Amino acid sequence: MRVDIISIFPEYFAPLDVSLMGKARERGILDIRLHQLRDWTHDVHKTVDDTPYGGGPGMVMKPEVWGEAVDAVIASGRSAPDADSRALPRMVVPTPSGRPFTQEVALEYAKEPWLLFAPARYEGIDSRVVAEYGSRLRADEVSIGDYVLAGGEAAVLVIVEAVGRLLPGVLGNARSVADDSFAPGAMANLLEGPVYTKPPVWRGHEVPEVLLSGHHGRIARWRRDQALRRTLEKRPELIDRLGREDLDKHDRRV
């Protein structure tokens, strides 16, 4: 998957060299390209923002600079030797007012060959930029939660990591994705239950006996019960989304 990120802080993405994402890049599974937005400015101060129309505090990122940057990145991707010259990226613009980013959206993005991120600073990007690209390609405004960050870079890190770990070959054991909280199928709308490793007793806390039993059927049932209980306790609104068809007769007793 190719990932382009345009930002005034490309250095913010150093964590993408670490751990799973770093290995995915080394192995060519993730091709991440960072771009300095200011490279597309034309004044000595490399200005990317201006005062908001209508007044008010804060600054807004200028549409011209974003337009030039996004056009150039798209052109570079389409003219790459191995690229389809008609290919267009899926554009992702982080904003608190966007569509909530969920595991479902991560799975959707993991199927894309090319993502282009436009993280903003200040009060955000002039709204005509999303309108312009929304008419030319798929451009999504996405929120990573109901809070406000200082900039979109941290949101991009979150999204790239959630998507990157879903790409084939990134995780050692592909099954762990299927067992995760929110995974489609049996775990859709459920949180994963508690997990344990050795030793069997630590500071007086015991590992639940069933996990030491070696009985796969009982262990699977226990894990399912724990997932249901934990979700009911911490995120009851998720349980409300489960249909009768998602629950077996043992689930209904939990």
Positions marked catalytic: 96, 123, 165, 180
CB of 110 to ligand SAM, least distance (A): 19
CB of 70 to ligand SAM, least distance (A): 15
Residue 78 backbone class (left: φ over 0; alpha: ψ -120 to 50; beta: rest): alpha
Contacts 24+ apart (CB under 8 A), 185-190: 186/224, 187/227, 188/246, 189/231, 189/238, 189/239, 189/241, 189/242, 189/246, 190/227, 190/228, 190/231, 190/238, 190/242
Exactly one of 13, 119, 163, 189 binds ligand SAM (CB under 6 A); which one?
119
- Cα–Cα nearest to 58, from 155, 156, 146, 151: 151
Q: Does 8 participate in binding ligand SAM (rule CB under 6 A)? A: no
Q: Does 120 participate in binding ligand SAM (rule CB under 6 A)? A: yes
- Cα–Cα nearest to 36, from 1, 59, 66, 76: 66
Q: Which residue is nearest to ligand SAM (CB)?
A: 152
Exactly one of 97, 135, 173, 197 binds ligand SAM (CB under 6 A); which one?
97
User: Judged by CB, which is closer to ligand SAM: 96, or 193?
Assistant: 96
Q: Does 151 participate in binding ligand SAM (rule CB under 6 A)? A: yes
Q: What is the size of the binding site for ligand SAM (CB under 6 A)?
A: 19
Q: Does 83 participate in binding ligand SAM (rule CB under 6 A)? A: no
Annotated binding site for S-adenosyl-L-methionine: 144-149
